[in-house]
Amino acid sequence: MKKVARPILAGMVLITIIWLFIGDITPTQPPWFSAEQVSQGEELYSEHCSSCHGVHAEGAKSWRTPDENGHLPPPPLDGAAHTWHHPKSFLQQTILEGGAKLGGVMPPFADKLSADEVDAVIAWIQSLWPTDIYYSWSKREQKRANQ
């Protein structure tokens, strides 16, 4: 290969790599929720959830350490913990049925929130997630839908 061609080739490879990388981290799809759902969810969250999960969904301080009964304190819901690994159906179920099924202590909200209100709360929670976290969740959710 001629010496002049090398930098040009290297430049093209670099541009391709950057292009692939940006293509992978930039969300290609808008979120499933609307701005109205987010603002409705914010109100519902502050009424029903903030006392345990924190005003900004930051979770209890020592959320990784089980209490004396072996129960974990309320985790962050803002994308810092593993909430984003769960499908939307699991989040809906946890909020409606509470944590008892999985040996947890979170109270159920089926008698307080409608399905639409639960979705609004999830919308607000997800609006707090960093873009890359939301995108990873969304990609997994799409895969699950196609299975």
Contact footprint for ligand HEC (CB under 6 A): 48-49, 51-53, 71-75, 77, 81-83, 86, 91, 94-95, 99, 104-107, 109, 121
Of 71 and 144, the one with the shorter C-beta distance to ligand HEC is 71
Of 45 and 135, the one with the shorter C-beta distance to ligand HEC is 45
The CB-nearest residue to ligand HEC is 99
- Cβ at position 84, least distance to ligand HEC in Å: 8
Structure tokens at 10: 């290297």
Q: Can you list the alpha helix ranges (DSSP code H) found in 63-130?
A: 88-97, 115-127
Compute the radius of gyration of the chain from its Cα atoms.
21
* Phi and psi angles of residue 142, each rounded to the nearest 5 degrees, phi first: -65, -40
Of 31 and 95, the one with the shorter C-beta distance to ligand HEC is 95
Of 18 and 137, the one with the shorter C-beta distance to ligand HEC is 137
CA distance readout (Å), 29 to 4, 44, 109? 41, 26, 30
